[in-house]
Amino acid sequence: MRKMDALWAYQEAEVAKASVEAEIRSTPARLKLNKLHKQLKTQQGVITKLGEDIETYEQQLNKLTDQVEKLEERLEVESGELVTIRQDDESTAEEMTELKRDIERLSREIAQAVREAKSLATEIEQATAEYQKTIRAASVAKKEYDTLRVECEKERESRADELAKHDAKLESLGKQVDQTLLARYEQVKLHHAVPIARVINSKCGGCNMSLPMVMLKKIATTDGIVECENCGRILYSGEQ
């Protein structure tokens, strides 16, 4: 067997195995499993984000609660001072006015902090509800995913013998292929799923570019690798 014929036979065996694997990957159960996998991944991302948001909101709420408590303590002290000043005949109107301003400012700050705390409480409530809803949905999806995964494993197992035969054929053909050619084949495969293209009507069967006569003669007379100048595929001129 010519070197290029052996390499071509190896590629055909790879293509045949790939076709079986593609069929396994494209069954209704497998397609649904892939969809559920993406859904679960998205849901997990949402759950993580919501959990982080809730934790942040709770920290902010705790901070505001502490702030309100301290402001209320100050307000209580200054309100007591106002009562004392009013009872003190020696207190000036200026002192009383300044103290009233401080009390009004503290009252505004407390009111603002309370509003922010209520808003945060609402955010926590909504985020918690969404968090729990997403967890429930993810739980349902996970059960369906686990069931489908078992089904997909059975589907693959049902074709295990077929895949094993392809593997055995590839192993046998691989021993017949020139290892230098095989190494180059694997390099081209990094860019083209099917590395070898048959020459059809003086054109590359991969990119359909017309091949010059010099190259056609080289392909016909050389039992080695000749690559398409346009797409880089290995060219093969064996009989169809």
pLDDT, tens digit, for every residue of 66-118?
999 999 999 999 999 888 888 877 778 888 899 999 999 999 999 999 999 99
> In the block, which residue shows the tokens 């997990």?
44
- Greater confidence, 32 or 85? 32
- pLDDT tens per residue across span 127-136: 999 999 999 9
pLDDT at 240 over 60: no
Query: What whole-number distance in Å separates Cα of residue 139 and Cα of residue 115?
Result: 36
pLDDT of residue 85: 85
pLDDT of residue 44: 97
Average the pLDDT over 188-208 and give the result. Answer: 96
